Amino acid sequence: MRNHSKIALILILVLSLAAGAFAQIKVKPMDIKQRTLKNGMKIVTLQDNSSPTVAIHVWYDVGGKNDPEGRSGFAHMFEHMMFKSTKNMPNEKMDRLTEDVGGFNNASTWDDFTNYYEVVPSNHLEVLLWAEADRMQNLNVDETNFASERDVVKEEFRQGVLAQPYGRFYEYLSSLSYQKHPYKRGVIGNLDELQAATTKDANEFYKTFYRPDNAVLIVVGDFDQKQLDGWVDKYFGSIKKPDGKIPRVTIKEPEWTAERRYEKTGPIVPFPATAINYMAPPSNSADVPAIRLAEVILSGGESSRLYQEMVRNQQIAQEASFNLDLKLDGGLLSFIGIASEGHTSSELEKAFLAELKKIQEKPVDAKELEKAKNQLITQTLQRRENNDGKAIAIERAIAFQGDPLAVNTEIQKLQAVSAADIQRVMKKYFTDNNRVVIYYNQAAEEKESK
């Protein structure tokens, strides 16, 4: 989309949002095309020739929940491995194929999936397809590559969890809340289990999950459909589908039937923190749009309810938020707060529960709901302004709803949410027996040493 078109889109959007309560914005559906190769790999494409760039995403149905027993953090570690050498590429070749032509590449590991992506000028599309197909089947999973990337992930754990004041606290959100589901382990892993992993483990993981029938290729941007189809058939269609079934997580999280409470301490905790977690519905639940709007109402910026009440009015918190953590098998609905000086975890808990009671007992008013819808829909449209944003939206629809076309109904579903819907979901999921409360404070010995 050229600059003038973007400006026009923004003006139309602003006028539509200002036209009246719950104005129905009409968004042209993405013309998504789908097909499946003989080896089981799914191909999802969206042609947009308005700019000479293309986004390539390869989505694998493997995430932190698929870590082998006793090997937490393995999917995350393997994400790093995928950037090492292959039969046909030296180390760091993906950087050279993207960054050296003005593009970029990256990857991320989630509880439910792992994604790899590149954005490059469209005349480099074919070589990136070749490279992605190459690392799908020809990765060098050897001792040198394995040891170096394991050390990288271990250092990420030290820096991201152990060295941060609230690093352990955020890890507790999953580990203390889930009772049986592998979500309990988190994604980053832990040092002992990473150290115990072997090259043999890595090779088995690669052969088990990195295969065409466990992947979706998403291409968005400037290409010719017939030419793209030919390249996809050439590079991915030639990969053989391995024998054997892909193992899936079958463990179900038992229903939470009683409140659980934990008091934890850490070595560097400047101020008390509190988390109140509730079990969320599966990511494909029809209740998710209403919860997303509740998230904005409670925690969407400095005009939100939690900020106004806990940070500005009561001044008991320096941070106060409500977060929806979507997961395929049921995520977490979390109230998370860090106290201001002189205040306690208990005060945060009481204030969070008071705000929860308000939204449960009294429907949000029309203006507040309209504002939340405008805010969320505007963010959604802004994120789709470039090819990578569209690819991400399609990818999330695949990951969380199992259907790339779900991206075309996202905004309509948000528009359809009523105040009664929000009140209903806040009563449905936020019950006393569906709750885990975590207090996080400075370790006693640390306090005494100051």
In a domain, 43, yes or no: yes
Count of domains for the chain: 2
pLDDT at 6: 47
pLDDT tier at 371, thresholds 50, 70, 90: very high
Q: Which of 235, 268, 284 is the last residue of a domain?
A: 235
Residue recorded with tokens 């352990």: 168
219 lies in the same domain as 267: no
204 lies in the same domain as 347: no
Q: Give the pTM.
A: 0.91
Q: Is the pLDDT of residue 329 over 50?
A: yes
- Can you say how many angstroms the Cα of residue 72 is from the centroid of all Cα atoms in its chain? 18
How many helices (DSSP H) and strands (DSSP E) are in the chain?
A: 17, 11
Domain that residue 393 falls in: 260-449
In a domain, 255, yes or no: no
Cα–Cα distance between 186 and 175 in angstroms, integer?
7
299 lies in the same domain as 229: no
199 lies in the same domain as 286: no
409 lies in the same domain as 294: yes
With CA atoms as reference, report the closest residue to 236 among 256, 255, 216.
216
Q: Is the pLDDT of residue 268 over 60?
A: yes
Q: Is the pLDDT of residue 313 over 70?
A: yes
In a domain, 202, yes or no: yes
What are 224's two structure tokens?
């010719």
118 lies in the same domain as 264: no
Residue recorded with tokens 């905004």: 411
Q: Model confidence over 132-167: pLDDT tens digits?
A: 999 999 999 999 888 888 898 889 889 989 999 999
Beta strands in 293-381 (DSSP E): 317-325, 332-339
230 lies in the same domain as 268: no
In a domain, 252, yes or no: no
pLDDT at 224: 97
In a domain, 251, yes or no: no
Give the mean pLDDT of 116-126: 98
Q: Which of 219, 235, 251 is the last residue of a domain?
A: 235
83 lies in the same domain as 202: yes
Q: Give 3-state DSSP helix, strand, coil % of the chain, rounded to 5.
A: 50, 20, 35
What CATH number is associated with residue 441?
A: 3.30.830.10
pLDDT at 17: 46
Percent of the chain at pLDDT above 70?
Answer: 94
Cα–Cα distance between 433 and 32 in angstroms, integer?
43
46 lies in the same domain as 182: yes
pLDDT tier at 443, thresholds 50, 70, 90: confident
Q: Is the pLDDT of residue 446 over 70?
A: no
Q: Is the pLDDT of residue 110 over 60?
A: yes
pLDDT tier at 444, thresholds 50, 70, 90: confident
228 lies in the same domain as 344: no
218 lies in the same domain as 294: no
Q: Model confidence over 2-46: pLDDT tens digits?
A: 344 444 444 445 444 444 444 577 889 999 999 999 999 999 999
In a domain, 5, yes or no: no
In a domain, 271, yes or no: yes
- Can you say how many angstroms the Cα of residue 92 is from the centroid of all Cα atoms in its chain? 25
Q: Which of 220, 235, 250 is the last residue of a domain?
A: 235
pLDDT at 228: 98
Beta strands in 48-151 (DSSP E): 53-60, 104-109, 114-121
In a domain, 440, yes or no: yes
Q: Answer for the pair 335, 322: CB distance below 8 angstroms, yes or no.
A: yes
359 lies in the same domain as 424: yes
Which helix (H) or strand (E) is 322 found in, with range? strand 317-325
With CA atoms as reference, report the closest residue to 297 among 180, 422, 208.
422
Q: Answer for the pair 413, 289: CB distance below 8 angstroms, yes or no.
A: yes
Work out the mean pLDDT of the chain and round it to a whole number: 92
C-alpha angle 75-216-110 in degrees, rounded to nearest 5:
30
